[in-house]
Amino acid sequence: MSLIAEFDVVVVGGGHAGIEATHAAWKLGVKTAMLTMDVNAIGRMSCNPAVGGVAKGQIVRDIDALGGLMGLLTDKAGIQFRMLNMSKGPAVWGPRAQCDMKYYSEVAREVITNLLGLSVIEGELAAFERMDDGRLELTLLNGERYVTRALVITSGTFLASKMFTGLETSIGGRVGEPSADKLSECLAANGIVLRRLKTGTPSRLDPDSIDFDECDVQHGDDVAWPMSDRHLENTVPGRDADYFWGDAANKFVRNDCVCWITRTNIRTHDILRSGFKDSPMFSGRIHGKGPRYCPSIEDKINRFGDRDGHQLFLEPEQADIGRVYINGFSSSLPADIQLAAIHTIPGLTRARVLQIGYAVEYDSVDATQLFPTFECKKVPGLYFAGQVCGTSGYEEAAGQGLLAGINAALKIKGEGPFILGRSDSYLGVMADDLTNILLDEPYRMFTSRAEYRLFLRSDNAENRLKERAHAIGMISDNDFADWKRRCSLVETARIRLAEESALPEQANCILEAGGQAPATERTRWINVLRRPGIDPEQLFKVALPDLPLTRRDRWFMYAEEIYAGFFDRQAREIDDQKKMESVRLPEDFDYMQVTSISIESRQRLNAHKPLTLGQASRIPGVRPADITVLSHWLENRG
Amino acid sequence: MDSQTIVAPMTPAGVSAVAALRVSGPKVREVVRALFGEKRAAALEPRMANLGSTRDPQSGKLIDSLLYIFFEGPNSYTGEDVLELYPHGNPLIVRDLLQAIRGLDGVRLAEPGEFTHRAFLNGKMDLTQAESVADVIHSANRAELENAHRLLGGALSKKIAALASQVKDISARLELDVDFAEEEADPDFAGWEARFVAVRESIQQVLNSFHGKASLSRLPLAVLYGAPNAGKSSLVNALLGEDRVLVSNVPGTTRDFVEVRLFLPGGEIRLVDTAGIAAQATDELDALSQKKSREILEEADMKILVVDGSSQECHSREGELASRHSREGENLRMSAFADMTNNADLVVYSKSDLCASPIPDGGLSVSSKTGEGLAELRQAMNASLFKQSADAEDLWITSEREKACLEDALAGIDRALDLLRNNPAVELLAFEMQVVRRALQSITGEISSEDILQSIFAGFCIGK
């Protein structure tokens, strides 16, 4: 068939990675197309109906500060908002939102299909081929051909995917959706190393068959923390968020839905055990490695058999409940076993299963074959992002999609790569980890992966990233001006706290509520704010009642104060690292010529082709001494 | 660092029967060709001793005929190709040979510690092992040597790794609480203090084991003292087995103190024979030498009081003192002497061949003439002066860098304990435990920096 169209960037897939990649490339002004097997599946939530959580919520905040869509989509489709870890310090708070997954997908589809000049193509990519001019020629399963300068593959779990429930196996990446087998073959033919991974999902129940009275109820926070700040307290039209919320629409999030909590018991476990012999995991029919941190219920019982019960969350899939997702009960045991086990759980004794739990096994790309821009080292112009890179989670996928889309567009525009560091965002940590470490299980973000955790917070995502996002064009001038106004307000507030003093009776009311020794004389507000245990909200109300600070601003100021001493201690380390990141390594460099580095390290460096000295230093097996040698070597080379 | 070939002598300057030089790097085969000719180079076999003669490339004069051994990388000390040369130990020969090798293109003199640095870079040893190479070479006594060998074998790395894994367990528990907020994992900090204190104690224990590398001036010091003509000098000679110290039966023959080196089973010691401390100085010179004797006694690791066993007062040294005391009257210098006497680590009764009566408990009866009691004296000195390393696991650290890392770890655990008691915020506790973990890991070189490496390798002597 003849050539249909030419593009700068074609994004394959319309999931969370595909949405961000498409939007970012479009936003940066290159000719972009999204290729999806099913337009109606854009933004579909394959698993749990929630976005965010500890570390994942920080990722969503990072994405939002960089001008991505996930925060806005979540706020629009959210039905219950909770800040996790609020009993702990603000560095480890994780915003999370239950979403109406049907609405989420609708909003995402509407946004994508309305991007001016964007093409959305329905079809399945069968093969790509590099042309003489460096562009890629794409052939779809139906024979259509396209030419593109960059290709971003966000195929999720759809590469050569198989689903398992007990002894039953079917082909497909999600219930009712096919597998992309041809693309998997094409990747392998291009020399790209693929690995089998596994994930799973629990059963979905009919809410009319659940006795919610027998479950505990979990509400959202009294006041919701939205994911994005871009649609709140805006006064000037022409913002990035306007195509979500319009100019005059209610810009506040919905927070009135509840979840329910119940528990498994000994009987549940006994029934599940009776099905172990038919488990595709235990019987070895699934070869892919599953995530240890998100184990199936049978895995939990197998490994922690002595526990008398495991907590389960019943989450509504939609505002009107729709189906109920059993969080914590992912399983690939035979359907009758799963059903019988569900019926032993309080509240679920007569539950009707609308969709039984299953495991998915799929091909993923070994991401050490990618640069931290997510471009493939072997095939220039080919990018991968999302679950196909071996991660799990919507947020991780979206973050990669954003970075891949940005970098694909920047390369076409002839601009330098956009690489975030470990000290400036969770996205930087993730990109660095994925492209350096050979994963043996799906990768999920944890705050403990971030060595600068106290600095990578949900309250300072804008401070960390906004400027850079604006510089490349991901944030509009209007939004940036808004942000600058917010910054100067916060600075005013900070100066006032440092200069103005609290009367003893003002300070003592706050100090005593926090269990702290009272003050006997006037004290600067900033010193009261630094005392452990006090409630900063109470302080701001008394100290700066006239300033229109947002809640995020107030907690940002508080966090900066209580962690200041720790930042100072890490500052030199961060500086050193930034210096290492700024030393670029030549891409065509043959490390075998640096003979004073061990052969093993030279081989690893050659295989990884790190972009910077900093990245080289984090390749497992490459020792600090090798980096010292390498840096001297490069200096001497001129 | 570069890929040049390096050369240095392995043996100290000076005359000896045989000297040794080491060459390491990519040009080793070319060095063999230049020194011994094309045929020898072509027939080069690893780990075979070869005899060859080499000539000065300029004058063509014979430098020496010598033994050489080739080690093929990576199976060599540095992991690179290595050549070891064993010429006759004449400094002129060593110099000429060195010049001949250095004159070749791409070969230069090694920096201090560079061979070991390369061994480290090429993965032949870890950081603590590399550091202990210098210890093995410079150990001044047997216990230190054994310690250094244990370090070289990776014993410290193992000990620190065990400690780091203890810390890792605590970190993991904290991280679990942070990252799995909904997993019913809230820690009860009540029982945590004991865990933190246990880690603190382990770190403190390793830190306490620090003592610097022994240098010659810090050899253990034993001092013999006592009244004039008590037989101190004869005892020194008997211990040395030679007439090293001038002996006479005239009291006060030893005017200044005399220092000798003595080898005991545990290693080398300094043994000092002092001038006899008498109640009254006979002249100004005597007063000066007695002052010096007291000074050296202050420094002593072991004070050995020598009492003339043949004199009538030998049955009680208190008696000896008391009688002298009453005889000479009140005397400040004398009371200082009495203090020192009471502080003696060992009392030796000399001239046992002349004394038949039994000696008090705790004393040692020795005859310099017959050799009686000498073996016991050596044993007693050895036991007192050398750390007993009966326990093979006993290990102490010798590097300032390791000490600094452990101090960082200790400071981290102290801050963590403080937080636990006053402000148990899990993210801050986790931060401090990360500090502790990294400090421990930087000992074994898993996490390191350029400064560390440079300071370590600059501390090496050339050619090691």
Give the tens place of pLDDT for each residue, A305-323: 667 888 899 999 999 988 9
Q: Where does the pLDDT of residue B359 fall: very low under 50, low under 70, confident under 90, or very high at 90 and above?
A: confident
| ipTM of this complex prediction, to 2 decimal places | 0.83
Q: What is the spatial distance between Cα A397 and Cα A391, in angstroms, rounded to a whole number?
A: 7
Confidence of residue A472 (pLDDT cuts 50, 70, 90): very high
pLDDT at A252: 75
Nearest to A115 by CA among A18, A232, A259: A18
Judge: A313–B184 Cβ closer than 8 Å, yes or no. Answer: no
Say what the pLDDT of residue B464 is.
32
Residues from chain A contacting residue B75 (CB–CB below 8 Å): none
CB-based contact B2 A636, cutoff 8 Å: yes
Q: What is the pLDDT of residue B140?
A: 62
Assigned fold of B5-110: Gyrase A; domain 2 (3.30.1360)
pLDDT for the residue numbered B456: 38
Q: Is the model more confident about B246 or about A333?
A: A333
Any idea what the Cα angle at residue B284 is, between residues B278 and B287, rounded to 5°?
Answer: 35
Is the torsion defined by CA of A293, A299, A302, A308 positive or negative? positive
pLDDT-derived band at B338, boundaries 50, 70, 90: low
pLDDT at residue A235 greater than cutoff 80: no
The CATH 3.30.1360.120 portion of chain B extends over: 5-110
pLDDT for position A556: 96
Helix axes B192-208, B155-179, angle to 10 degrees: 160
Lowest mean pLDDT among A556-565, B105-114, B144-153, B421-430: B144-153
B461 pLDDT band (50/70/90 cuts)? Answer: very low
B26 to chain A nearest CA, in Å?
9
Q: Using one digit for the tens of pLDDT, what is the confidence trace for B384-438?
A: 887 654 444 466 676 677 788 899 999 999 999 999 988 888 899 989 988 898 8
pLDDT at A272: 93
Average pLDDT, integer, range B436-455 = 58
Shortest Cα–Cα distance, A72 to chain B (Å): 24
What is the distance between the alpha carbons of residues B261 and B267, in angstroms, rounded to a whole number?
Answer: 10
Residues of B in contact with A633 (CB under 8 A): 1-2
Per-residue model confidence as pLDDT tens digits over A108-144: 999 999 999 999 999 999 999 999 999 999 999 999 9
Nearest-neighbour CA in chain A from B147: distance (Å)? 26
Could you give the CA distance from residue A126 to residue A141 in angstroms, rounded to a whole number? 5
Looking at A375-384, A518-527, A551-560, B315-324, which range is the least confident one?
B315-324
CB contact under 8 A, B181 and A598: no
Cβ contact B2–A94 (<8 Å): no
> Beta-strand (E) ranges in B235-389?
258-264, 267-273, 302-308, 346-350, 363-365
Residue A30's SS3 state is coil
Delimiting residues of CATH 1.20.120.430 domain(s) in chain B: 133-211+397-458
Residue span(s) of chain B under CATH 3.40.50.300 come to 221-385
Mutate to test the interface with A, among B174, B179, B448 (most CBs of A within 10 A): B179
Query: Given a cut of 50, is residue B214 above it in pLDDT?
Result: no
What is the pairing mode between strands B5-9 and B107-109?
parallel
Residue A76 corresponds to which tokens in the numbers above? 């629009």
Share of chain A above pLDDT 70, in %: 94
Mean pLDDT for the stretch of residues B267-285: 77
Contact of B370 with B291, CB cutoff 8 Å = no
- pLDDT tens for residues B132-172? 776 666 666 666 666 666 666 677 778 888 888 788 778 87
pLDDT for the residue A394: 97
The shortest C-alpha distance from B122 to chain A (Å) reads 5
Q: Give the confidence band of B331 by pLDDT, cuts at 50, 70, 90.
A: very low
pLDDT at A292: 67
Chain A residues whose CB is inside 8 A of the B108 CB are: none
Summarize pLDDT for B30-56 with one digit per residue, the tens. 999 999 999 999 999 999 999 999 988
Q: By the 8 A CB rule, do A555 and A90 touch? A: yes
**A-chain residue closest to B78, CA distance:** A596
Tell me: pLDDT of A631 over 80.
Answer: no
Instruction: Please tell me the predicted confidence (pLDDT) of residue B215.
Output: 44
Q: Give me the pLDDT at residue B462, please.
A: 27
The CA-CA-CA angle for residues A588, A617, A390, to 5°, reads 80
Mean of the pLDDT values across residues A224-231? Answer: 87
Tens digits of per-residue pLDDT, B64-88?
999 999 999 889 998 899 999 999 9
Cα dihedral angle (A312, A318, A319, A325), rounded to 10 degrees? -10
Q: What's chain A's average pLDDT?
A: 89
How many contacts does A have with B, using Cβ atoms within 8 A? 95
Question: B217 pLDDT band (50/70/90 cuts)?
Answer: very low
In chain A, the residue whose alpha carbon lies closest to the alpha carbon of B423 is A532
pLDDT attached to residue A529: 94
Residue with tokens 């914590």: A328
* Beta-carbon separation of A628 and B430 below 8 A: no
Give pLDDT, residue B326: 45
The predicted-structure confidence for A81-116, as pLDDT tens digits, reads as follows 999 999 899 999 999 999 999 999 999 999 999 999
Judged against a pLDDT cut of 90, whether residue A592 lies above it is answered with no
Q: Do the Cβ atoms of B305 and B225 come closer than 8 Å?
A: yes
Domain B133-211+397-458 sits in CATH 3.40.50.700? no
Q: Looking at beta carbons, which residues of chain A come within 8 Å of B422?
A: 532
Query: Which of A403-417, A594-608, B191-205 has the least mean pLDDT?
Result: A594-608
pLDDT band at B459 (very low <50, low <70, confident <90, very high): very low
Which of A443, A448, A594 is the best substitution to test chain B (most B C-beta atoms within 10 A)? Answer: A448
Q: Do B426 and A88 touch (CB under 8 A)?
A: yes
User: What's the distance, Cα to Cα, between the start and end of chain B in Å?
Assistant: 17
Residue B255's pLDDT is 58
Instruction: Inspect the interface and report whether the beta carbons of A84 and B181 lie closer than 8 Å.
Output: yes
A384 Cβ contact partners less than 8 Å away, ≥ 6 residues apart? A152, A153, A154, A365, A367, A370, A374, A376, A404
Contact B427 A54 (CB under 8 A): no
Say which range, A52-61, B291-300, B410-419, has the weakest mean pLDDT.
B291-300
DSSP strands (E only) in A546-612: none
* Residues forming a β-bridge with B304: B224, B346
The CA distances from residue A154 to A289, A540, B405, in Å, are 20, 45, 45
Q: Which band of pLDDT confidence, cut at 50, 70 and 90, is reported for residue B458?
A: very low
pLDDT exceeds 50 at position B333 = no
Q: Domains along chain A? A: 3-202+361-472 (3.50.50.60), 204-220+255-356 (2.40.30.260), 477-567 (1.10.10.1800), 583-637 (1.10.150.570)
**pLDDT of B185 higher than 60:** no
Give the separation between CA B48 and CA B61, rounded to whole angstroms. Answer: 26
Mutate to test the interface with A, among B124, B401, B428, B444 (most CBs of A within 10 A): B428
Contacts of A89 in chain B (CB under 8 A): 425-428
Region A392-413: mean pLDDT is 97
CA dist A392 and A397 (Å) reads 7
Identify which of B188, B160, B181, B75 has the alpha carbon closest to the alpha carbon of residue B123: B75
Model pLDDT for residues A352-387, shown as the tens digit of each residue: 999 999 999 999 999 999 999 999 999 999 999 999
Sequence letter at residue A78: G
Question: How far apart are alpha carbons A177 and A158 in whole angstroms?
Answer: 9
Adjacent-strand bridge partners of A125: A140
CATH class of B221-385: alpha beta
pLDDT score recorded for residue B161: 81
Half-sphere exposure of residue A595: CA atoms within 13 angstroms, side-chain side: 14
% of chain A residues with pLDDT over 90 = 65
